[in-house]
Amino acid sequence: MFGCWDYRSEEEKAMSDSNSALPRTRQCKLLNIHRSSTYYRGKAASDEDQAVMKEIDKHHLDKPFLGSRRLTDVLKEDSDSIGRNRVIRLMRLMGIQAIYPKPRTTERNPDHKVYPYLLRNMNINQPNQVWATDITE
């Protein structure tokens, strides 16, 4: 279902899998990659991780608003102990995250008046030319 985790690009996979006339070192120079990265073979997820991922997927489909903390608690109720870092890693591997309202801290109130900045094009070149004060408490 979730297969192996392979960091190589498609060019690297094609290069290492094909029987090209060019030697590996020349191919790597042409693609501007390190030769050592072409020897990497991805490992498939373990059976235990596959089972945990199926459980995470099931719970995420039922309640997509659960984050890693609450999902860890739900998984602990169902099975043996599981750590939050493992749940985070598997959720990232599966490409899922909790759905929740994002913070809206920078939206201004449209009813508030916007005052113009009067010093925008003014050339300030001497002391005491511009003064400012703050009347907030």
Q: What are the domain boundaries of the chain?
A: 10-39, 47-94
| Least confident segment among 15-24, 54-63, 88-97 | 15-24
pLDDT at 14 over 80: no
pTM of the model: 0.54
Q: What is the 3-state secondary structure (H, E, C) of the chain?
A: CCCECCCCCHHHHHHHHCCCCCCHHHHHHHHCCCHHHHHCCCCECCHHHHHHHHHHHHHHHHCCCCCHHHHHHHHHHHCCCCCHHHHHHHHHHHCCCCCCCCCCCCCCCCCCCCCCCCCCCCCCCCCCCCCCCCCCC
The Cα–Cα gap between 125 and 123 comes to: 6
| Least confident segment among 3-7, 82-86, 128-132 | 3-7
Calculate the average pLDDT of the chain: 85
